[in-house]
Amino acid sequence: MKKKLIIANWKLNGNKLSILNFLNQLNKYDYKEKKEKCKIVMSFPVIYLYLAKTIIYKKNIFLGAQNVDLNLCGPFTGEISVNMLKDIGINYVILGHSERRKYHKENDALIAKKFKIVKEANLIPILCVGENKEEKKLGKTQEVCARQLNSVISMWGPQIFNDTIIAYEPIWAIGSGETATPCSVQKIHKFIKEYIKEYDIANSEKITVQYGGSVDENNVTQLLYEADIDGVLVGGASLNYNKFKKIIDIVNSL
Ligand code: 13P
């Protein structure tokens, strides 16, 4: 069975102490049956990633950034490049999170360009897609996700999605305590996989589709029973080690 991927997005939270405490516990996590069925990606604020890298020694824990710049070097004050992330051993980069689209005005075209830069650097992009409340009401979920996928496909061709991750994160479910039903998530994940398959049958198997939006220890089991939910992207519930550990325990016991 393919290992489930659990990604923790800490957003603008944490400090040296809380991250060290969290990682010290995560390093010691030992599943009783010894067969861990998940891969974990911790996306701390970028300033703490190097520290985190020096602490982690468990093989199934990786690190992710929450954003990256388009440029590789030069006069771009305040930015971080893919080369810098690679330099400190980061493997994943979240792109196009709805909070970046909303607060930093990132649009589909910019996100598609970043996707290519990340892929070219041999890092793994995690592309966030998903509809807002209004679009959900109007029944436009598939249309919105297709548009967001298309912005990447039309710029770079479908093969760019090989070995990448797509995170379906309905905006209305983020931080709201309102999770999308497992059945509706399954439907849209299947749609995403088939949409890419339509363009690129050979490589569609290599895509991982995650769900994010108020995932916690109480709803993760039902979500992961669905065939096309390959993992979860956890925000709020990943900040508390005990809650996060419960999610890992559940995935390992599936
Ligand atoms: P919550 O789990 O807090 O809803 O956040 C989800 C998210 O935005 C992960 O990227």
Strand residues in the chain grouped as ranges (E) = 4-9, 38-43, 61-65, 92-95, 124-129, 165-168, 208-212, 231-234
Q: What does residue 90 show for φ and ψ, rounded to 5 degrees?
A: -85, 140
From the CA of 128, give the closest atom in ligand 1: 10
Task: Measure Cα distances from 24 to 8, 52, 144 in Å.
Answer: 16, 10, 40
Structural domains in the chain (count): 1
> For tokens 């793994």, what's the residue?
124
* CATH code for the domain of 116: 3.20.20.70
In tens, the pLDDT along 122-134 reads: 999 999 999 999 9
Among protein residues, the one with the nearest Cα to ligand 1's atom 5 is 235
99 C-alpha to center of ligand 1: Å? 10
174 C-alpha to center of ligand 1: Å? 5
5, 168, 215: residue to mutate for ligand 1 pocket, most atoms within 8 A of CB: 215
In tens, the pLDDT along 189-245 reads: 999 999 998 887 666 677 899 999 999 999 999 999 999 999 999 999 999 999 999
Residue that wins the pLDDT comparison between 59 and 75: 75
Q: Which of 239, 199, 253 is nearest to 31 (CA)?
A: 253
What is the model's pLDDT at position 186?
97
Q: What does residue 62 show for φ and ψ, rounded to 5 degrees?
A: -120, 170
> For tokens 């949409």, what's the residue?
195
Range of the domain at 40: 4-253
202 C-alpha to center of ligand 1: Å? 31
What is the model's pLDDT at position 200?
73
Ligand 1 proximal residues by C-beta, below 6 Å: 9, 97, 169, 174-175, 212-215, 233-237
- The CA distance from 167 to 170, in Å, is 9
Residues annotated as catalytic (active site), given as ranges: 97, 169
Share of the chain above pLDDT 90, in %: 89
214, 220, 223, 244: residue to mutate for ligand 1 pocket, most atoms within 8 A of CB: 214
From the CA of 216, give the closest atom in ligand 1: 2
* Sign of the Cα pseudo-torsion (62, 93, 4, 200, in order): negative
Q: What is the mean pLDDT of the chain?
A: 95
pLDDT beyond 90 at 72: yes
- The CA distance from 11 to 94, in Å, is 11
198 C-alpha to center of ligand 1: Å? 29
Among protein residues, the one with the nearest Cα to ligand 1's atom 1 is 235
104 C-alpha to center of ligand 1: Å? 17
